[in-house]
Structure 1
Protein backbone atom coordinates (compact mmCIF):
# COMPACT_ATOMS: atom_id res chain seq x y z
CA UNK A 1 0.00 0.00 0.00
CA UNK A 2 1.37 3.33 -1.04
CA UNK A 3 0.68 6.42 1.02
CA UNK A 4 1.15 10.10 0.24
CA UNK A 5 0.32 9.72 -3.45
CA UNK A 6 -2.53 11.69 -5.00
CA UNK A 7 -5.48 9.63 -6.18
CA UNK A 8 -8.51 11.00 -8.03
CA UNK A 9 -11.78 9.25 -7.18
CA UNK A 10 -14.78 9.17 -9.52
CA UNK A 11 -17.94 8.39 -7.55
CA UNK A 12 -21.70 8.72 -7.84
CA UNK A 13 -24.16 9.72 -5.12
CA UNK A 14 -27.10 7.32 -5.03
CA UNK A 15 -28.76 8.97 -2.06
CA UNK A 16 -28.01 11.01 1.02
CA UNK A 17 -25.91 8.28 2.59
CA UNK A 18 -25.00 6.07 -0.36
CA UNK A 19 -22.00 6.58 -2.62
CA UNK A 20 -20.72 4.18 -5.29
CA UNK A 21 -17.10 4.27 -6.45
CA UNK A 22 -17.07 4.24 -10.25
CA UNK A 23 -13.36 4.64 -11.02
CA UNK A 24 -10.13 6.00 -9.62
CA UNK A 25 -7.05 7.48 -11.20
CA UNK A 26 -3.66 6.28 -10.08
CA UNK A 27 -0.65 8.53 -9.63
CA UNK A 28 0.71 7.52 -13.06
CA UNK A 29 -2.47 8.84 -14.73
CA UNK A 30 -4.10 5.48 -15.48
CA UNK A 31 -7.80 5.24 -14.65
CA UNK A 32 -9.05 1.96 -13.16
CA UNK A 33 -12.75 1.11 -13.57
CA UNK A 34 -14.90 -2.00 -13.65
CA UNK A 35 -18.25 -1.39 -15.33
CA UNK A 36 -19.17 -5.09 -15.16
CA UNK A 37 -19.15 -4.77 -11.39
CA UNK A 38 -21.53 -1.80 -11.70
CA UNK A 39 -23.88 -4.09 -13.64
CA UNK A 40 -23.87 -6.49 -10.69
CA UNK A 41 -24.57 -3.61 -8.30
CA UNK A 42 -27.55 -2.56 -10.45
CA UNK A 43 -28.89 -6.14 -10.51
CA UNK A 44 -28.59 -6.41 -6.75
CA UNK A 45 -30.43 -3.10 -6.44
CA UNK A 46 -33.30 -4.53 -8.49
CA UNK A 47 -33.41 -7.57 -6.19
CA UNK A 48 -33.41 -5.32 -3.13
CA UNK A 49 -36.26 -3.27 -4.60
CA UNK A 50 -38.29 -6.39 -5.23
CA UNK A 51 -37.83 -7.43 -1.61
CA UNK A 52 -38.92 -3.96 -0.47
CA UNK A 53 -42.03 -4.14 -2.66
CA UNK A 54 -42.99 -7.60 -1.43
CA UNK A 55 -42.36 -6.77 2.23
CA UNK A 56 -44.02 -3.34 2.28
CA UNK A 57 -47.62 -4.48 2.80
CA UNK A 58 -47.02 -7.24 5.39
CA UNK A 59 -44.62 -5.01 7.32
CA UNK A 60 -47.11 -2.14 7.24
CA UNK A 61 -49.93 -4.36 8.49
CA UNK A 62 -47.81 -5.79 11.31
CA UNK A 63 -46.58 -2.37 12.39
CA UNK A 64 -50.12 -0.95 12.07
CA UNK A 65 -51.41 -3.66 14.39
CA UNK A 66 -48.85 -2.71 17.01
CA UNK A 67 -49.34 1.05 16.64
CA UNK A 68 -53.14 1.21 16.22
CA UNK A 69 -53.05 2.03 12.49
CA UNK A 70 -50.19 4.52 12.44
CA UNK A 71 -47.91 1.92 10.90
CA UNK A 72 -49.88 1.99 7.65
CA UNK A 73 -47.63 4.91 6.70
CA UNK A 74 -44.84 2.36 6.29
CA UNK A 75 -46.48 0.96 3.13
CA UNK A 76 -45.98 4.06 0.89
CA UNK A 77 -42.46 4.50 2.25
CA UNK A 78 -41.67 0.89 1.36
CA UNK A 79 -43.06 1.35 -2.14
CA UNK A 80 -41.00 4.53 -2.58
CA UNK A 81 -37.78 2.72 -1.68
CA UNK A 82 -38.80 -0.16 -3.96
CA UNK A 83 -39.36 2.26 -6.85
CA UNK A 84 -35.98 3.89 -6.23
CA UNK A 85 -34.18 0.56 -6.07
CA UNK A 86 -35.88 -0.94 -9.11
CA UNK A 87 -35.90 2.04 -11.50
CA UNK A 88 -33.79 5.00 -10.35
CA UNK A 89 -30.56 3.36 -9.13
CA UNK A 90 -30.12 1.00 -12.12
CA UNK A 91 -30.76 4.00 -14.38
CA UNK A 92 -27.95 5.91 -12.67
CA UNK A 93 -25.63 2.90 -12.94
CA UNK A 94 -26.41 2.07 -16.58
CA UNK A 95 -23.29 1.61 -18.71
CA UNK A 96 -24.11 4.43 -21.13
CA UNK A 97 -24.75 6.83 -18.26
CA UNK A 98 -21.47 5.93 -16.57
CA UNK A 99 -19.51 6.20 -19.83
CA UNK A 100 -21.02 9.65 -20.46
CA UNK A 101 -20.27 10.76 -16.88
CA UNK A 102 -16.66 9.61 -17.17
CA UNK A 103 -16.37 11.26 -20.60
CA UNK A 104 -17.47 14.55 -19.03
CA UNK A 105 -14.42 14.26 -16.77
CA UNK A 106 -12.11 13.42 -19.66
CA UNK A 107 -11.85 9.67 -19.08
CA UNK A 108 -12.06 7.58 -22.25
CA UNK A 109 -13.76 4.20 -21.74
CA UNK A 110 -13.23 1.45 -24.30
Structure 2
Protein backbone atom coordinates (compact mmCIF):
# COMPACT_ATOMS: atom_id res chain seq x y z
CA UNK A 1 0.00 0.00 0.00
CA UNK A 2 2.77 2.41 0.92
CA UNK A 3 4.52 1.45 -2.32
CA UNK A 4 1.43 2.36 -4.36
CA UNK A 5 1.28 5.70 -2.55
CA UNK A 6 4.97 6.50 -2.98
CA UNK A 7 5.02 5.22 -6.56
CA UNK A 8 1.99 7.33 -7.45
CA UNK A 9 3.60 10.42 -5.95
CA UNK A 10 6.88 9.79 -7.78
CA UNK A 11 5.03 9.24 -11.06
CA UNK A 12 3.05 12.44 -10.53
CA UNK A 13 -0.27 10.58 -10.47
CA UNK A 14 -0.98 11.14 -6.76
CA UNK A 15 -0.69 14.65 -5.33
CA UNK A 16 1.95 15.13 -2.64
CA UNK A 17 -0.81 16.47 -0.38
CA UNK A 18 -2.45 13.05 -0.44
CA UNK A 19 0.78 11.50 0.78
CA UNK A 20 1.04 14.08 3.53
CA UNK A 21 -2.53 13.35 4.63
CA UNK A 22 -1.77 9.62 4.73
CA UNK A 23 1.38 10.34 6.76
CA UNK A 24 -0.39 12.60 9.25
CA UNK A 25 -3.41 10.35 9.74
CA UNK A 26 -1.16 7.30 9.84
CA UNK A 27 0.72 8.92 12.70
CA UNK A 28 -2.54 9.60 14.51
CA UNK A 29 -3.67 5.99 14.01
CA UNK A 30 -0.34 4.59 15.19
CA UNK A 31 -0.46 6.66 18.37
CA UNK A 32 -4.10 5.72 19.02
CA UNK A 33 -3.34 1.99 18.73
CA UNK A 34 -0.44 2.41 21.15
CA UNK A 35 -2.60 4.34 23.60
CA UNK A 36 -5.41 1.80 23.39
CA UNK A 37 -3.00 -1.08 23.98
CA UNK A 38 -1.64 0.73 27.04
CA UNK A 39 -5.17 1.42 28.30
CA UNK A 40 -6.06 -2.26 27.85
CA UNK A 41 -3.03 -3.39 29.86
CA UNK A 42 -3.93 -0.95 32.65
CA UNK A 43 -7.63 -1.93 32.67
CA UNK A 44 -8.56 1.68 31.92
CA UNK A 45 -11.07 3.35 29.64
CA UNK A 46 -10.53 2.25 26.03
CA UNK A 47 -10.62 3.90 22.65
CA UNK A 48 -13.62 2.47 20.80
CA UNK A 49 -13.12 0.15 17.85
CA UNK A 50 -15.32 2.47 15.79
CA UNK A 51 -12.88 5.33 16.45
CA UNK A 52 -9.83 3.21 15.56
CA UNK A 53 -11.44 1.93 12.37
CA UNK A 54 -12.73 5.40 11.52
CA UNK A 55 -9.22 6.83 11.67
CA UNK A 56 -8.00 3.89 9.56
CA UNK A 57 -10.71 4.66 7.01
CA UNK A 58 -9.86 8.37 6.96
CA UNK A 59 -6.36 7.89 5.49
CA UNK A 60 -4.84 6.34 8.65
CA UNK A 61 -4.76 2.74 7.45
CA UNK A 62 -0.98 2.52 6.99
CA UNK A 63 -0.34 3.74 10.53
CA UNK A 64 -3.19 1.59 11.82
CA UNK A 65 -1.69 -1.54 10.31
CA UNK A 66 1.74 -0.59 11.66
CA UNK A 67 0.25 0.05 15.11
CA UNK A 68 -1.47 -3.32 15.11
CA UNK A 69 1.78 -5.04 14.20
CA UNK A 70 4.12 -3.12 16.51
CA UNK A 71 1.83 -3.20 19.55
CA UNK A 72 0.34 -6.62 18.70
CA UNK A 73 -3.01 -5.03 19.33
CA UNK A 74 -6.40 -6.07 17.98
CA UNK A 75 -4.82 -8.98 16.11
CA UNK A 76 -6.73 -11.82 17.79
CA UNK A 77 -10.25 -10.53 17.22
CA UNK A 78 -11.16 -12.02 13.85
CA UNK A 79 -14.03 -9.62 13.07
CA UNK A 80 -11.77 -6.63 13.71
CA UNK A 81 -8.97 -8.10 11.58
CA UNK A 82 -11.44 -8.81 8.77
CA UNK A 83 -12.70 -5.23 8.86
CA UNK A 84 -9.15 -3.90 8.82
CA UNK A 85 -8.27 -6.11 5.84
CA UNK A 86 -11.35 -4.82 4.01
CA UNK A 87 -10.35 -1.20 4.70
CA UNK A 88 -6.78 -1.92 3.59
CA UNK A 89 -8.09 -3.47 0.38
CA UNK A 90 -10.23 -0.43 -0.40
CA UNK A 91 -7.28 1.90 0.18
CA UNK A 92 -4.97 -0.30 -1.88
CA UNK A 93 -7.38 -0.37 -4.81
CA UNK A 94 -7.88 3.38 -4.64
CA UNK A 95 -4.16 4.13 -4.41
CA UNK A 96 -3.28 1.65 -7.16
CA UNK A 97 -5.99 3.15 -9.34
CA UNK A 98 -4.60 6.64 -8.80
CA UNK A 99 -0.98 5.52 -9.25
CA UNK A 100 -1.82 3.93 -12.59
CA UNK A 101 -4.00 6.81 -13.76
CA UNK A 102 -7.28 4.86 -13.77
CA UNK A 103 -8.64 7.08 -10.99
CA UNK A 104 -8.18 10.82 -10.93
CA UNK A 105 -7.58 12.51 -7.53
CA UNK A 106 -10.56 14.73 -8.22
CA UNK A 107 -12.80 11.62 -8.34
CA UNK A 108 -12.63 11.41 -4.54
CA UNK A 109 -13.74 15.03 -4.21
CA UNK A 110 -16.74 14.43 -6.45
CA UNK A 111 -17.55 11.22 -4.58
CA UNK A 112 -17.85 13.08 -1.26
CA UNK A 113 -19.67 16.01 -2.83
CA UNK A 114 -16.93 18.65 -2.82
Structure number with greater CO (CA < 8 Å, separation at least 6) is 2
Q: If you compute each CA radius of gyration, which structure gives the higher value, 1 or 2?
A: 1
TM tier relative to shorter chain = 0.3 to 0.5
TM, length-normalised to structure 2: 0.35
